[in-house]
């Protein structure tokens, strides 16, 4: 592949050109962030674990009929993906109350949400990703009504597939964030990532936190926890 140019970076990964106009490279870094504060800590193997976890989950979703950005795994920390024009929205589904929902509405953490909730946040670091609704998205041109309806349907479909996957492995998918994009022909794809950094996972019986909230709470062993989550769903990330 030809020389790579970094197009942008988010908290967990850098996105590079690949030499093929239709493909980009996700390079997962070892930077661990608590909340969205600047300054990061380096966690050995985090990039590799997130990269392989994301690839595994996206393949599961593809098998369930959800079109994703994934093309193929390139290396421990890199994945080749379809080039998309990203829709600037974060789509959050919650099965159980946690995080910003509790802070915003005073709901007790752990409250079951039935039916699961669907929220939209505008991707804007300066404004700290404010919550928006479908009317704002349409009027301000973030997404069309047709795209919004497909995004919502796909986000819920992901919930059905992944809630089952984690439930079968003794875990509760509390909430997660998805992002979508459009290819050059206008087709919608699930993009970005699904990792233990972009969802909340609790042990089903004990409700112990297995995701990045462990890091936020200062818990040790975040990588060990992610590797254990992966092992339970059938992905071996242990070092051989």
Give me the residues that bind ligand CDP (CB under 6 A), please. Answer: 90, 92, 99-101, 129, 175-177, 198-200
Cis peptide bond N-terminal to 70, omega within 30: no
Q: Which is nearer to ligand CDP, 18 or 92 (CB)?
A: 92
CB of 20 to ligand CDP, least distance (A): 28
Q: Which is nearer to ligand CDP, 31 or 175 (CB)?
A: 175
- Please give the Cα distance from 215 to 209 (Å, whole number): 10
Query: How many of the other CB atoms lie within 10 Å of CB of 153?
Result: 10
Minimum separation from the CB atom of position 176 to ligand CDP (A): 5
Q: Are strands 171-182 and 85-86 parallel, antiparallel or unpaired?
A: antiparallel
Question: CA 220, CA 156: separation in Å to the nearest integer?
Answer: 32
Nearer to ligand CDP among residue 88 and residue 99 (C-beta): 99
CB of 185 to ligand CDP, least distance (A): 28
Least CB distance from residue 17 to ligand CDP, whole Å? 24
Which residue lies nearer to ligand CDP by CB, 176 or 215? 176
Alpha-carbon distance of 84 to 129, in angstroms, equals 21
Q: Indicate the SS3 state at residue 144.
A: coil
């Amino acid at each position: 592949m030809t020389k790579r140019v970094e197009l942008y970076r988010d908290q967990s990964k850098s996105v590079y050109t690949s030499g093929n106009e239709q493909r980009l490279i996700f390079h997962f870094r070892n930077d661990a962030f608590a909340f969205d504060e600047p300054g990061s800590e380096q966690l050995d193997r985090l990039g590799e674990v997130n990269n392989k976890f994301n690839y595994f989950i996206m393949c599961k979703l593809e098998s369930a009929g959800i079109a994703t950005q994934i093309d193929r795994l390139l290396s421990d920390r890199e994945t080749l993906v379809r080039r998309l024009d990203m829709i600037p929205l974060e789509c959050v589904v919650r099965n159980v109350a946690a995080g910003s929902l509790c802070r915003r509405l005073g709901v007790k953490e752990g409250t079951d949400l039935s039916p699961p909730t669907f929220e939209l946040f505008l991707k804007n670091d300066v404004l700290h990703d404010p919550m928006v609704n479908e009317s704002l998205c349409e009027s301000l041109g973030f997404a069309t009504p047709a795209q919004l309806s497909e995004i919502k349907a796909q986000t819920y479909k992901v919930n059905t597939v992944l809630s089952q996957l984690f439930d079968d492995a003794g875990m509760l998918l509390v909430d997660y964030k998805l992002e979508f994009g459009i290819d050059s022909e206008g087709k919608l794809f699930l993009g970005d990532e699904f990792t233990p950094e972009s969802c909340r996972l609790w042990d089903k019986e004990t409700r112990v936190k297995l995701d990045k909230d462990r890091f936020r709470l200062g818990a040790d062993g975040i990588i060990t926890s992610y590797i254990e989550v992966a092992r339970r769903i059938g992905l071996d990330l242990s070092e051989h």
